[in-house]
Amino acid sequence: MTVFTMVPMLLTIAFYDRIFIPPSQKGHRVGQGHHIPSQNGIGFVISILATFVAGFVETKRKRAALAHGLVNHPHSIIPISVFWLVPQYGLHGIAEAFMSIGHLEFFYDQAPESMRSTAAALFWTAISLGNYISTLLVSMVHKFSAGANGSNWLPDNNLNQGKLENFYWLITVLQVANLIYYLWCAKIYTFKPIQVKGKQGTDTEGNAVELANRV
């Protein structure tokens, strides 16, 4: 299924480079960087939609298993097309294109010149920490969603008897909360002044500050 993530991601990068960036740069006139909040916001919204869709697809899969009497047969093939997974994989690819590029541009554009490599390294460090937090979240769901019969949302033996869709709803709620926090951070963040070149090739700091104050 990786191809259904990579192809939309590559197409989105082409769209981003040829269509999304030029109008946003013309609208702000301050230089690069100020389109990043809206770009990341788009990525967050699409990611939320992808997780939301995944929950509905899992619900459909379980209904198909129930309709064909396969709930107690974890190793049986459920008669449902694998292409039901394409929308969520495609949406995740599109979201990844917007957010990854946006985060890298933000770190590179807003960090001091002497710390740009460090900023890029911090980006990948944040991703690795996110993976550890995801593992912790799964462990917590295993622990706190266990019922009286010992089953939980993410059973090890038979996913048909679990509630994976509830896990997707939980992730969706966390993503919405994260989006709200991101919008607040984007609102209070002040971009660093940008140096613009004068006609003679010299830096005009006054113009840069004036333009930055208009944003």
With tokens 């690795």, the residue in question is 128
Mean predicted confidence (pLDDT) in 184-206: 62
Mean predicted confidence (pLDDT) in 61-82: 88
Mean predicted confidence (pLDDT) in 135-140: 92
Q: Rounded CA gap, 75 and 190, in Å?
A: 54
Q: Rounded CA gap, 161 and 66, in Å?
A: 10
What does the DSSP assignment read for 94-139? HHHHHHHHHHHHHHHHHS-GGGHHHHHHHHHHHHHHHHHHHHHHHH
pLDDT of residue 151: 74
Total number of domains constituting the chain: 1
pLDDT of residue 175: 94
* Axis-axis angle for helices 116-144, 86-110 (nearest 10): 140
Residue 149's pLDDT band, with cuts at 50, 70 and 90, is low
pLDDT of residue 37: 76
CATH code, domain with 179: 1.20.1250.20
Residue 185, domain extent: 3-214
pLDDT of residue 143: 86
pLDDT of residue 21: 65
Q: What is the pLDDT of residues 36-65, one digit of tens each?
A: 778 888 899 999 999 999 999 999 999 998
Q: What is the dihedral of CA 80, 84, 88, 93, to 10 degrees?
A: 120
pLDDT of residue 129: 92
Nearest to 21 by CA among 88, 97, 90: 97
